[in-house]
Structure 1
Amino acid sequence: MEKVGFTLIALLCCYSSTVYATKDYTLKYDLTSKTLNVSLGSKLILQHSPSSSMFFVGNGQVNFREFRGNFFINNYVGDKIPATSFTVNSTANSDIISFKTEQSRVKVTLETKDSHPLVVSFVTGPFFNDFWLRVVASPDERVYGLGEQYSYLNLRGRTYPIWTREQGVGRNKSNIVTFFADNLAGGAGGDYHTTYFPQTTFVSSRNLYCHYGGYNYAEVNLQPPNFHEIYVNGPVSSFYFQSKPDLKSLVGLLTHYLGTQPKLPDWVYTGAILGVQGGTEVMLQRYNQAKQNGVPVSGLWIQDWAGVLKTSFGSRLFWNWIWNQTVYPDLDNEIKLLKGNGTRVLGYINPNLNSNGDLYTQAAKGGYLIKKSDGTPYLTDFGEFNCGTVDLTNPNARKWYKEVIQTNMIDLGLSGWMADFGEYVPADGAVFYSNQTGREVHNQWPTLWAEVNRNAIDERNVTGDVVFWMRAGSAGTSKYTTLMWAGDQNVDFSYGDGLPSTIPAALNMGMSGIGITHFDIGGYTTAAQFQKFGQALVRTEELLLRSAEAAIFTPMFRSHEGNQPKANVQFYTNDFIEKSFGRLAQIFVHISNYTKSVVRDNHDLGIPAQRPLFMEFPTDDISKSVSYQYMFGSDLLVAPVIQGNVETMNVYLPPGDWKFIWDKNEYSGHNYYNVTATMGMPPAFYKKTSEYASMFSEIQTKFPPLPLPPATTTSQPITTGSPCTSGSSSSLGGVSISLIVYMYLICVILCFSPLKSFL
């Protein structure tokens, strides 16, 4: 009889776990044992017991130190207090759980809302400023996303701070470039986690995702074997959980929830967007020469359209976004003539204004700039010139800057632009119109910047014809931006910060709901001042053409001259390089109907253009471990050459029947193959059953590689660092004195000038 009574009591305690029709999650709890489980279907999401708290609260201090977009964060953890007992109040629409801690109570609300089966909200009260949530994990679970992460595809086993900033130089702490950039350039070296676009959203191989709805500073700890821990500093927003049978549909839901990017303009697919600068005459010279050498040109990107500023370190852009008629005379007429010939002209803008410019004067007078506590504009030193930053929390400032874009860029005839920066908002010391602190608005800033650009083109009814691309981002940026780009890679083959890093970056972005991205063909970051030491970081012909090969299988084919154009090999360096570049651009155009379908799928279904192999082949175990190959759409497997001096590639093909674009032979899947990968023949396979098979098969016959001219030799770039997945590292003991001297001098220069300034 005593046992029967105890059983009845236990059943009554669990009675509140009844699942209501309006709830898509399952809550089970036992007040006697003080245990609680929250599940989506068969997947356990949250778990609480006296020995393992579901969450913790505490008090600590997060300190930020900034140097030209590089943030150094010290998170001091004071207390970390677990929850103990709890009570539950269930209704038809929600479950409200009151947890007791040592100092107070924490209210937890479980709901099904906002297109999510489980939304978890916390009210921690005024006693705490630190919060940790633990999400159930399995030891063999793989995790992807967290925005644009360059170093790894599977993020498991590391902690990722969520704070937008410069990506860093080198980004590999075992790398000599990173070492000197860290120690002699104010910490500009970066690390595996530093990125322009962090996002507190991760996708799990358990076919679920977790999205944090706030913009606070956060850290996602993916190291423990049995849980993922999300730390949030400041007021806690809601956590959104979604689960689906497969990753493709799961990511599609995430993309639509955060906001889908529009389809790209058709003109983007008609050729290369050539990064050129130097004035109207130079622009037209580059254009005419490219056309003569068979380069299909869809656009000319002139980032110096507003003029240049001479500094002791060279030419910089003059951040005053008004057409400079001295540098670009007759530009308005040339834009019309070029457009009539099928070529667009594009420009550049960022949310910062040179204090010596007309726009700064207007913005300061109108009260449109971020301010200091004394009410004067908050100025940032960008290297021999100071800038004010438009306060994007001010509706009047947003309206004014939107009209600047419309009048000075769209009405001029520009068909697009790089909407740069967005990472430099200070954590402390600045005053915003919204009365938010810098800590509160910092991560949201890129989304506000994206919205201003998008409103400018929407109101002019040119969405679908004008394209802008961004590097900085946060949750919700995808709702506004038309395109992302991977930022400032080194002009080399380093895994941490060179050409290879663009692949995990694109794949993690896609898993985070941002499916249309691309990168600078040829990279950006160059350091050639001390070539006499024989160790300069400069772009070679090989690096340029290998990156152009990879760009074929992305949504946009756009080049960049780099921060030191004269030091780098350019697409126009000689006729052979330009013809080779043009041939690759022709292949990009040839497959444009397929690329359009891939971009359309991203817009309609939320499926990213560049996808990890396991998204298309979820039951194939080998596909889960492949990081530097990807699917471009559902039919095309791409294995870009991402190292120097490569003639063949060992490529893994998932299950199915495949054809290689360079020999048309059939290959059975679930196997590795050594295939030709000589310059100009990027390894790519298509499904035998693809409706685009005939188009892919024409590549070999229509675009044979160009014969090398007798005098041409392929120089090799320096390779800084090793694959992040290899576990190997560079040793300072083996570095030559000339390299150390060289890097020291480079870093001395970098101490006084941000990398983006070498224009």
Structure 2
Amino acid sequence: MPGRAFLGAAQGQADIRQFGTPDGSYRIDDRLLAQCLAQSIDGVDNATETLVVRGRLTGPGCDVAYSLAFDAAGANQLRFRLQLDGPKAAQLNRSYLRHASSADERYFGLGQQLTWFDQKGKTIPVLVQEHGVGRGLPGFTQLFDLLEGGGGGSEVSTGAPAPHYLSSKLNSLFLENTEYSIFDFQHPERVDIKLFTSAMTGRILYGRTPLELIREYTAYAGRMPPLPDWVGRGAIVSVQGGTDEANKKLNTFERAGIPLAGLWIQDWPGVRITNAGKQLWWNWELDESYYPRWDALVDRLARLGARMLVYINPFLSTEAGHDSLYQQARQADYLVKKQDGTPYLIRNTNFDAALVDLSNPEARTWIKNVIKNELLGRTRASGWMADFGEALPFDAVLANGNDPAAWHNRYPEEWAP
């Protein structure tokens, strides 16, 4: 945009409130204390394979030098890196990028967006959070918000965002940063990106089709491997309520001659009664009183050509009698902590649970072994739902000084594999 700044910086103070049932929804109010939204370009250095634009960003209470470096990250990828320099740079914790658009350009992407396909005219936050319990059901969502502390979701809440878009004019850009960002498509003539850290890194992609652009992005972000053939050989049915209930459902399917690929049994660790109804014991051990004759059930599925599927999340029960893994993780220092060094217990309806610190490589190995022993081993599962990676608090203390603001969006990526 000729004559307009395409970079900016600011000092902000964010008020972050976690809420909902379960805790996993967020409200972020950002108060700006200083803004550098005026930009100068003082020089361009292209003596090497990296082109560097240098200048200053100024504004009320703000004056800082910057460098914006461009280099090839591949045949069709141009990496850019914004760096602030000088004695006042450390005070700044927001960065801005602006580029030209047009009124007829449409924007798509930003991860799993559940409301709009075209985001032109919208502002989309890239923030992992609960997508909304009962979201979209008239009356239910409003009742849940009222009775259970919010968490019914909004038009922009999602558990799987991504700071990447492509447009109808085949413009495509993504951020490598995992910190909270906001993509503003409200203005007809431009796109504004706000990132909640001062060092912005991203890539501009080239492609002749949307598919080529997606391939470029997934070459960086990763691609889901093909699903195994067996998932397409019949229905995958959700069953809860114990062994007898599962066998009753299998009898119904057999009599009807319906091919079955698997049973998904979420409540394999047993259930507790809460003010939300029935919820699981998050101890990740088979409840053999609730599911007696489990092995016979898995064997029956195998004879039908079907598989067992289960459920897990990265929380650990602290309830006496169901806290074996919690005690192990606490003793080994594998839990997300509060500022005072104690385990960060996160509220879910009327119980608390601890969260495994996936920024700790040893904790990742430990929970992976739990999955191997309890899910692959004891339950003989062929797959599972890896749920609830969105609740890492922004004020947590992580292993090795890792920044929870950068790890909040990263956490579900580490949990999903």
| TM-score after normalising by structure 1 | 0.51
Q: Could you say what secondary structure the match of 1:83 adopts?
A: strand
Q: Report Cα offsets for 1:452-511 as digits up to 9, x if no partner.
A: xxxxxxxxxxxxxxxxxxxxxxxxxxxxxxxxxxxxxxxxxxxxxxxxxxxxxxxxxxxx
Q: Within the alignment, does 1:378 sit opposite 2:344 as a pair?
A: yes
2:326 corresponds to which of 357, 360, 385: 360
- Residue aligning to 1:426: 393
Q: For 1:325 and 1:170, locate their aligned partners in 2 and report how far apart those are by CA, in whole Å.
A: 31
Q: Which residue of 2 aligns with 1:223?
A: 186
What secondary structure, in the 3-state scheme, does the structure 2 residue paired with 1:85 have?
Answer: strand
| Aligned equivalent of 1:236 | 199
In structure 2, which of residues 394, 408, 411 is the aligned counterpart of residue 442 of structure 1? 408
Q: Which residue of 1 aligns with 2:54?
A: 98
Structure with higher strand content: 2
Whether the aligned pair in 1 keeps the contact of 2:9 and 2:94 (CA below 8 Å) is yes
Q: Which has the higher helix share?
A: 1
CA distance in 2, matches of 1:97, 1:107: 6
Report what 1:76 is aligned to.
31
Contact 2:110 2:164 in 1 (8 A): yes
Distance 2:359 2:126 in 1: 21
| Residue in 2 that maps onto 1:296 | 259
Are the aligned partners of 2:55 and 2:65 in contact in 1 as well (CA < 8 Å)?
A: yes
1:213 aligns with 2:162: no
Q: What is the alpha-carbon distance in structure 1 between the residues aligned to residue 74 and residue 333 of structure 2?
A: 37
Cα offset, 1:169, TM superposition: 4.6
Shift of 1:66: 0.5
> Secondary structure of the equivalent of 1:108?
strand
> Which digits, 9 at most, give the CA deviation of each residue in 1:532-561, with x for residues without a partner?
xxxxxxxxxxxxxxxxxxxxxxxxxxxxxx
Shift of residue 362, structure 1, vs aligned partner: 1.2
Inter-CA distance 230–347: structure 2 relative to 1 (3 Å threshold): same
Query: Are 1:280 and 2:236 matched, yes or no?
Result: no
The answer to whether the Cα contact below 8 Å between 1:171 and 1:192 also exists between their aligned partners in 2 is no
Q: Which residue of 2 aligns with 1:408?
A: 374
Secondary structure at 1:101 match in 2 = strand
Contact 2:109–2:164 (8 Å) recurs in 1: yes
Equivalent pair of 1:352/1:389 in contact (CA under 8 Å): yes
1:187 is aligned to 150
1:181 Cα deviation after fit? 4.4
Map Cα deviations across residues 104-160 of structure 1 (whole Å, 9 max, x no partner). 210110111245432111101324211110122121000000001111110110101
Secondary structure in 2 aligned to 1:442? helix
Question: Are positions 1:133 and 2:90 aligned together?
Answer: no
Distance 1:346 1:321 in 2: 14
Matched, 1:341 2:304: yes
Is the CA contact 2:135–2:153 (under 8 Å) kept in the aligned structure 1? yes
Query: Structure 1: how far apart are the matches of 2:117 and 2:277?
Result: 37
**Partner secondary structure for residue 248 of structure 1:** helix
Report Cα offsets for 1:227-265 as digits up to 9, x if no partner. Answer: 111100113231201121211222222223211111111
Q: Which runs of 5+ in 1 are unaligned?
A: 1-46, 452-759
Q: CA deviation at 1:170?
A: 6.2
Structure 1 moving runs of 4+ over 6 Å? none
- In the aligned structure 2, how far is the partner of 1:131 from the partner of 1:403? 40
What is the CA-CA distance between 1:436 and the residue it aligns to? 2.1
Check the 8 A contact 2:126/2:180 in 1, yes or no.
yes
Compared with structure 1, are the counterparts of its residues 184 and 333 closer, same or farther at alpha carbon in structure 2 (3 Å cutoff)?
closer
Instruction: Determine the structure 1 residue equivalent to 2:353.
Output: 387
Q: C-alpha offsets along residues 709-739 of structure 1, whole Å, 9 cap, x if unaligned?
A: xxxxxxxxxxxxxxxxxxxxxxxxxxxxxxx
Is the Cα contact below 8 Å between 1:117 and 1:241 reproduced in 2? yes
3-state DSSP class of the match of 2:340? Answer: coil
Q: 1:57·1:82 contact (CA, 8 Å) conserved in 2?
A: no
Question: Aligned pairs, how many?
Answer: 401
Match of 1:499 in 2: none
Provide the secondary structure at the position in 2 that maps to 1:444: helix
Q: Which amino acid is 2:109 matched to? A: G
Tell me, what secondary structure is at the counterpart of 2:399?
coil
Could you tell me whether the CA contact under 8 Å between 1:141 and 1:206 is conserved in 2? yes
The answer to whether the 8 A contact 1:354-1:360 is kept is yes
Q: Specify whether residues 131 and 191 from structure 1 end up closer, same or farther in structure 2 by C-alpha distance, changes over 3 A only.
A: same
Give 1:176 deviation, angstroms. Answer: 5.0
- Aligned mate of 2:83, from 123, 142, 145: 123
1:164 and 2:152 aligned: no
Alpha-carbon distance in 2 for matches of 1:63, 1:208: 33
* Deviation (angstroms), 1:177: 4.8
CA distance in 1, matches of 2:145, 2:281: 28
User: How far 1:345 sits from its partner (Å)?
Assistant: 0.9
2 CA distance for matches of 1:213 and 1:155? 21
Equivalent residue letter for 2:129 = R
Q: Measure how far apart 1:374 and its partner are.
A: 2.6
Instruction: Show structure 2 runs of 5+ residues with no match.
Output: none
1:288 match: secondary structure = helix
- Same amino acid, percent of matched pairs: 33
CA distance in 2 between partners of 1:334 and 1:182 (Å): 39
How do 1:206-605 residues align onto structure 2 when only pairs under 5 Å count? 206-356=169-319, 357-412=323-378, 413-428=380-395, 430-451=396-417
The code of the aligned residue for 1:198 comes to: P
Which entry has the higher C-alpha Rg, 1 or 2?
1
In structure 1, what is the Cα distance between the partners aligned to 2:260 and 2:276?
Answer: 32
Indicate the larger mover: 348-357 or 180-189: 180-189
Q: Distance in 1 between matches of 2:24 and 2:410?
A: 15
CA deviation string 1:257-278 (max 9, x = no partner): 2111111111100111110011
Contact 2:260 2:304 in 1 (8 A): no
Aligned to 1:84, what secondary structure does the other structure show? Answer: strand
- How far is the alpha carbon of 1:335 from its aligned partner? 1.3
Residue 145 of structure 1 corresponds to: 109
In 2, Cα distance between equivalents of 1:181 and 1:71: 16
CA distance, structure 1, for counterparts of residue 409 and residue 142 of structure 2 = 27
Matched, 1:64 2:10: no
- Report how far residue 375 of structure 1 moved: 2.2
Q: Deviations over 1:670-702 (max 9, x none)?
A: xxxxxxxxxxxxxxxxxxxxxxxxxxxxxxxxx
The 3-state SS of whatever aligns with 1:122 is strand
Q: Distance in 1 between matches of 2:227 and 2:201?
A: 33
Amino acid in structure 2 at the alignment position of 1:395: P
**Length-normalised TM-score, structure 2:** 0.91
CA RMSD of aligned residues (A): 1.9
TM-aligned CA distance change 1:191 to 1:80, over 3 Å: farther
